[in-house]
Structure 1
Amino acid sequence: MGVLALAACQPQKAAVDAKQSQAIANEELRIGYIGPSKTAGGAVGWALHQGSLQKAVAPIGFGSVKEYVFANGPDLSEALLSNKLDVGIFGDTPALTAQANRGGSTLIGFNAVGHDVWLMGREGIETLADLEGKNVGVPNGSYMHRYVSGLISQGLLKNVTLNYLLPRDAQSALSRGDIDAFAAPIQLGPQLQALNYNTVDLASKHGLEGNSVIVVTDEFLSRNPQFFKTFDSVRRQAVKELQAQPDAYYQYYLKYTDYKEPIIRASFPMSTYLEDTFPEKGMALLAGTKSFLLQQKIVQKDVNVDKWLINTN
């Protein structure tokens, strides 16, 4: 009787297993990044464009890959930690802030290292000294914020009032005179240069650039133990490819942005794309970002970066 009952259950169990396998195979890998372009860009964006990432993750259960764009890092962090995303590609400042405040994430690499900041001034503002007693716009909690705070702590920017606003509002605020300068991120900085706003300073002059980091939740990693090695192998290969054919990379990216080619080349030099999972420059900038967050009391809890990194062994 027991044998008959077991035999009768086996076809049903096989059917359930088949359905579960199909569901896993059809799972979507959800990658979030910060806009304004319609692709994450960098090695991850290139791998998606080439189809290599989709092909690599299919055997480990992902039938499709989709990019989701966000306006800023805090919104992306919230989506990631609310399980609405699997992978987050965004600035190291909001990524560290989220880890300090809530935990639950793991750093699995860098999509770009050393993003510059362009401190752009309106007419009459040409040097850092010209900004004394003036208003400076900056996106709150961003790598641009870290750069401006670094200038202040070094005594290079004195007696300024910080106005927090998003990059999309910067040009109109400058033109109205609501702010005297704006700390502009990639794409917007060179665009404002092209519109004849004054380049007052660059983050790269002071070692205050930002990184684009790649983060996943601990819960996602526990469900997908093969993901990191698969993903990192694809990312490394993509870096080699885009470094070998930069013109092809820029032509790909231009299809997904409203900015012109000179703006894109100035914003995303090949030197920002590094093959190492945790490159020395990226880690040094990350340490500076962590110090900024603690000094500014944006976070109250320190992050042990060594424990935040995924174990690559």
Structure 2
Amino acid sequence: MKRRHFIAAAIAAASLSGAYPALAETDQVRVGYIADFWGASATAVATEQGLWEKHGLDADTKVFTNGPLQIQALGTNSLDFGYIGPGALWLPASDKARVVAISSVGNSDRILAREGVTSLADLKGKKVAVPEGTSGDMLLGLALEAAGMSRDDLEIVTADPATVVSAFASGQVDGAAIWYPFVDVIRKANPGIVELAKNADFPQNQFPAAFVTNPATVTDRPELVGKFIAVMKEAGDWRHANPAETIKITADFLGVDAAVLEQEATMGTSFTAEDLAAKSKDGTINSWLDGMAAIYVKQGKLEKALPAADYYTADLFVK
């Protein structure tokens, strides 16, 4: 299967355990991922470790540049499951998808500017490149609010991540809202870049990434959802226990050098399936998702958000 690897495109532009029972009947499944460490690592581990087959799935994995495109693909029935970062969680909160598992909590998003810029105020009236509807977009909204500014103060240029990198490298834009590993790619071409904001500047929020599916899939095919969750549980446990090996597996899966992923891999928190089950039972994950939804309402993405209990299938995950 041919994959387009957007990390490699950006670089060019800038320069198991047996803990889970196997299921015998095999189902075809189309699974989306994003070509960075946190967006691809669980899928890469599941593929390398043979977990799809173990749990009764024949997986066709498909690369996407962001989460909203995957939810769009779910809606057109061209994808069965996808991976989204925190910036796309407004879509499940608006009833467009169901969260079936949490992948990680991240800190890889950054607002960047050219050398000499000291604050967001210095970017007033200037071009800032942003992949729309992503975690970078969300962080930009938080940073602007904290600075007493709005999007109208900037000239927003929407683009996919690889184009954001090339636009910054070629001097077409003055700032960017992007995430690792693209931050490293930009830094290599522009060593003097300034970091204006990051997720950790907003400690009142957790920034979860999640696996999602179409609401109809949960209703009509809960057994398929169960198989997918079982794969992600086991892949997540393996990733948590083997971080260095996971970087290599993910790099091989994406066709990039492992060094490209090493920094990004330190900018997220992984969990065991047991820990995520406990957090599903005690409401912790719902509080993370509700916190994200409150941001989207405040930023105007949503008029009103569903409560997380309506779109996170905690019961299926625990089972």
Which band: TM-score by shorter chain? 0.7 to 0.9
Partner of 2:112: 120
- Give the 5 Å matches for 1:106-145: 106-145=98-137
Find the partner of 1:96 among 90, 93, 104. Answer: 90
1:165 counterpart = 2:165: no
Separation of aligned partners in 2, 1:290 and 1:36? 24
1:7 alignment partner in structure 2: none
**For residue 200 of structure 2, what is the aligned residue in structure 1?**
204
- Corresponding letter in the other structure for 1:181: G
Q: Confirm or deny: 8 A CA contact 2:103 2:270 kept in the other structure.
A: yes
Question: Distance between the aligned counterparts of 2:162 and 2:209, measured in 1?
Answer: 19
- 2:312 corresponds, among 294, 298, 309, to 309
User: Equivalent residue for 1:50?
Assistant: 49
- Between the aligned residues of both structures, percent identity stands at 20
For structure 2, the residue ranges without an aligned partner over 5 or more in a row are: 1-23
Partner of 2:300: 297
* Secondary structure, counterpart of 2:253 in structure 1: coil
> Which residue identity is paired with 1:29?
V
Quick check: 1:136–1:160 contact (8 Å CA) kept in 2?
yes
Q: 1:87 to 1:187 in 2, by over 3 A?
A: same
Aligned pair in 2 of structure 1 residues 73, 281: CA closer, same or farther (>3 Å)? Answer: same
Tell me, yes or no, if the aligned pair for 1:77 and 1:95 is still in contact at 8 Å.
Answer: no
Q: 1:270 to 1:97 in 2, by over 3 A?
A: closer
**Greater Cα offset, 142-151 or 274-283:** 274-283
Code of the residue aligned with 1:50 in structure 2: it is: Q
- Distance in 2, Cα, partners of 1:289 & 1:182: 22
For residues 52 and 126 of structure 2, what CA distance do their matches in structure 1 show?
Answer: 47
Task: State the distance in 2 between where 1:98 and 1:231 align.
Answer: 18
TM-score of the two chains, using structure 2 as the length reference? 0.76
Cα 1:259–1:181 shift into 2, 3 Å: farther
Q: Does 1:182 align with 2:185?
A: no
CA deviation vs aligned residue, 1:208-263 (integer Å, no higher than 9, x gap) = 67432111123222333233444334323322322222221111111133544333
Q: Do structure 1's residue 247 and structure 2's residue 250 form an aligned pair?
A: no
Per-residue deviation, 1:126: 4.8
Q: Which amino acid aligns with 1:309?
A: Y
- Alpha carbons of 1:149 and 1:282: their partners in 2 closer, same or farther (altered >3 Å)? farther
Change (3 A) 1:136 1:268: same
User: Alignment length, in residue pairs?
Assistant: 282
Which shows bigger deviation, 167-176 or 141-150? 167-176
Contact 2:131/2:164, CA 8 A, preserved across alignment? no
How far the C-alpha of 1:308 sits from its partner, in A, is 0.9
Q: Distance in 1 between matches of 2:61 and 2:138?
A: 27
Alignment partners' CA distance in 1, 2:127 and 2:206: 22
Instruction: Please list, as runs of the form range in 1=range in 2, the aligned pairs for 1:255-274 lying within 5 A after superposition.
Output: 255-257=252-254, 259-269=256-266, 271-274=268-271
Unaligned 5+ segments in structure 1 are 1-23
Larger radius of gyration: 1
Q: Which amino acid aligns with 2:134?
A: S
Does residue 1:226 correspond to 2:223, yes or no?
yes
